[in-house]
Amino acid sequence: MIGIDIVKISRIEKFSKRFGEKALKKFLLEDEILLVKNHKTASGFWAAKEACSKALGVGIGAECSFFDIKIY
């Protein structure tokens, strides 16, 4: 099964500007935050995690959180 997800870069940019690094901590692990170069990277990480959870057939929620998926 393949998971595909998209997110508006501007959405993540506004979220990050409003909440700073706290925003990234809502969906990224500390090691992943170090990999973020800009809003495009952060948006890609969000989309990749959502796509992975959908490919597993559960989506982001009680069964699978953003922190159960790690991007290297």
Judge whether residue 58 has pLDDT over 70. yes
Judge whether residue 12 has pLDDT over 80. yes
Q: What is the rounded distance in angstroms from the CA atom of residue 4 to the CA atom of residue 31?
A: 23
Within 1-72, residue ranges assigned H as helices are 9-19, 21-25, 30-35, 39-55
Q: What angle do CA 33, 6, 48 make, to 5 degrees?
A: 40
In the chain, what percentage of residues exceed pLDDT 90? 75
pTM of the model as a whole: 0.87
Torsion-angle region of residue 69: left (phi > 0), alpha (psi -120 to 50) or beta? Answer: beta
